[in-house]
Amino acid sequence: MSKLIDGKAFADRLCDKLADEVASLKQDKQLSPCIAVVLVGEDPASATYVGAKVRRCAQLGIDSRSHHLDDTTSEAELLSLIDDLNNDPEVHGILVQLPVPKQINSDAVINAISPDKDVDGFHISNVGALSVGQNNMVPCTPLGSLMLLQDELGDLSGKNAVVVGRSNIVGKPMAALLLQQSCTVTIAHSRTQDLPEVCRGADILVAAVGIPHFIQGDWIKPGATVIDVGINRIYDEALEKNRLVGDVDFDAAKEVAGAITPVPGGVGPMTIACLMYNTVRAAKNQAGIA
């Protein structure tokens, strides 16, 4: 049986440290980290995510400003709001919850946010900085995944890592972070030939394809560390209700892997915790605090 990597416990520990740091910044530096969260439309999942982020801010003492725009909002109106937030010195981080309605170009929105306030780490300048190993804002889910790997394995240097999925949000930045840790990295995807065999060569296997139970147990190298980024809602006939599952066939994988993240309770909590981490970091950067 593999060891379960408890992302919720790690996220709680990280947030406890951040709460102490926020309190210190307020008292010693008169600096109050602040994030503006923008939600466009009425997507239920997006509203749930935004609510969870705002609640976590309150727990840590981070100021949050919520901007809820209706689903008929134009791209120009949204860009105007972002420009106002970019120029507001009291706002240190800006997050526009994706997806946005179809009349709005998400790339234009992402790249309208000041790179210094881009706590999602999606701006093209931050993406470029990550690719060449410079100090920058790192996307939250890959950053959280890396933290879990380092906590579990320590030094990652020399390990074979396979990232299944090549999205701009998870797959590509995850690969860049692993390269920075001196892993030998393979990015696999839907057109990879003999994908199961590629996965079997991984000391570290990161699943980020968005397909329930896509990675099978016999694709996993015995003793490998598995990070399951997937969050998929499926109907469970036995339970007669929906439940969340990952991209990995967990029941089969846990018999083979050395350590594995569960879904839920693995990478998910780390994503919000790292958003808080990025917000505090952005506030310190903008205030000139090391």
> CB of 143 within 8 A of CB of 164?
no
Domain interval for residue 216: 140-268
Residue 92, domain member (yes or no): yes
**Binding site per annotation, positions for NADP(+):** 165-167, 231
Which residue of the set 63, 118, 120, 247 is catalytic?
120
Which tens digits make up the pLDDT trace of 206-227? 999 999 999 999 999 999 999 9
Distance from C-alpha of 78 to C-alpha of 70, rounded to nearest angstrom: 11
Active-site residue, from 97, 116, 117, 254: 97
For residues 82 and 290, the model is more confident at 82
pLDDT digits (tens, 9 = 90+) for 126-154: 999 999 988 889 999 999 999 999 999 99
CATH number of the domain bearing residue 53? 3.40.50.10860
Give the type of residue at 187: I
165 assigned to some structural domain: yes
pLDDT of residue 239: 72
Residue 181 included in any domain: yes
Tell me, yes or no, whether 170 lies in a domain.
yes
Give the confidence band of 45 by pLDDT, cuts at 50, 70, 90: confident
Q: Considering the domain boundaries, does residue 97 fall inside one?
A: yes
CATH code: domain of residue 238: 3.40.50.720
Q: Is 43 a known active-site residue?
A: no
Amino acid at 229: V
Phi, psi of 19, rounded to the nearest 5 degrees: -60, -40
Q: Which residue positions form the known binding site?
A: 165-167, 231
Would you say residue 31 has pLDDT above 90?
yes
Residue 245 lies in a domain: yes
Question: Pick from 101, 116, 131: which residue ends a domain?
Answer: 116
Whether residue 240 has pLDDT greater than 90: no
Q: Is residue 132 part of a domain?
A: no
Q: Give the pLDDT mean for 222-241.
A: 89
97 noted as active-site residue: yes
Residue 276 falls inside a structural domain: no
Q: Helices marked H in the chain — which ranges?
A: 7-28, 44-60, 75-86, 106-112, 124-131, 140-153, 171-180, 195-200, 250-253, 267-286
Percent of the chain at pLDDT exceeding 90: 90
Q: Please state, rounded to an integer, the average pLDDT across all residues of the chain.
A: 96
